[in-house]
Amino acid sequence: MRDEELFHAEVHRFNGLMFGLIEERTRNCKNKILSDALSYIRETGGKRLRPIICLLAAEAVGGSRDKALSTAIAIELLHNATLIHDDIIDDNYIRRRSPSNPARFGAKNAVLMGDLLLGFSCELLAECGEPEVMRVVMNALSDIALGQYREFTLRLCALDEVTERAYMEVAELKTASAFMASAEAGVMLGCGGGVELENLRNYGRNLGVAFQIQDDILDICGDPAKTGKPVGLDIKNRERTILVIHALKHASCADRAYIEDIMTGKIEAGDAEIEHLREIFINTHSIKHAIALSKELLMDAKSNLDSLEDSAAKYKLQLIAEMVSSRIEEQIQEIYIRK
């Protein structure tokens, strides 16, 4: 079986287990909002990286996937809940090539759906019977919310105050924390040791930060037919992405002034403006810088697995890092890679 097929088999298997359990628990559920939220998750799909990392981490340290299953499902539901709230904050109307949850159900219903998913997630998480696992996952939820808040406040900061370090701190909180918690929870439920816990936590951190950097790249250069998202949403929301931060340091005076006008709202970011910004990012090598940075983090993620004994689970964790590494080449519009 090819590597890509191997991963898709993992996703297919997890989806079957997750929706089987959900159907069993909600068979007599009369809560239409929760039912709609769960149906939306089934219809729109997803990469399921976080729960699969949880299951593989448990297996990689010699434990059982079965013991980690309810926690893995809880993490996936938690992730989808945060996506709903994220789409409301960002006015995002497209998610995975479909109308986003708030676009389909309305923002008020979407808030309730996100809250109900969080509640259902907590119910499943409690079934693991491990207070420390529950603490790790709930801390991740707090970190995601804090990361979202800090990302929002960065939009209000003067551009020369936003550093690459500040960006990395937000990326770790907002995106990497869920990957880290997934890996940690898996190790704990698999009865792994302290070294394994630390290394797999770092695996999750490096993977998650790289994933966020790639999201920034794909927002400006991605092929919407492949990413399932509109181009330029971060720019329209005046996000201080890694591309913006790097370009401000390396652009000409005129280009820097143009970036500042976009980021402060003096110029409305339409299609022409996004195209102009993309050219600035290309000319300042900001896209190349971001790609190189994400690849370095993913190499570190693979190195974090070196201490694990060879196994099918370890190989699949390595495969996830490789697949994330190839994500840019697969989803970016080819013209921008050539430049």
Long-range CB contacts (< 8 A, 24+ apart) of 47-51?
Answer: 47/11, 48/10, 48/11, 48/14, 48/15, 48/76, 49/179, 49/320, 49/324, 50/75, 50/76, 50/79, 50/178, 50/179, 50/182, 51/14, 51/18, 51/75, 51/76, 51/182
pLDDT at position 327 is 84
pLDDT digits (tens, 9 = 90+) for 40-99: 899 988 899 999 999 999 999 999 999 999 999 999 999 999 999 988 887 888 787 788
pLDDT at 63: 96
Residues of the chain with pLDDT under 70: 1, 333-339
Would you state the pLDDT for residue 1? 61
pLDDT (0 to 100) of residue 291: 94
Q: Which pTM value belongs to this model?
A: 0.94
pLDDT, tens only, 258-278: 999 999 989 998 999 999 999
- Judged by DSSP in three states, 222 sits in strand
What's the pLDDT score for residue 160? 85
Which pairs count as long-range contacts for 85-93, CB under 8 Å and 24+ apart, including other chains? 85/110, 85/111, 85/114, 85/148, 86/148, 88/114, 89/148, 89/152, 90/233, 90/237, 91/237, 92/229, 92/233, 93/230
Longest dimension (CA), the chain: 63
Residue identified by tokens 């992730």 is 79
Total domain count for the chain? 1
Burial class (CB in 10 A: 0-12, 13-18, 19+), 158: exposed
- Find the domain containing 301 and state its range: 3-338
For 231, the token pair is: 């181009």
pLDDT of residue 226: 77
Do residues 281 and 216 touch, judged by C-beta distance below 8 A? no
- Provide the CATH number for the domain around residue 172: 1.10.600.10
Return d(Cα 73, Cα 91) in angstroms, integer: 27
Q: Which CA distances in Å does 320 have to 2, 47, 73, 195?
A: 13, 11, 18, 21
**Nearest CA among 326, 50, 100, 53 for reference residue 214:** 326
Full DSSP string of 55-99: HHHHHHTT--HHHHHHHHHHHHHHHHHHHHHHHHHHT--EETTEE
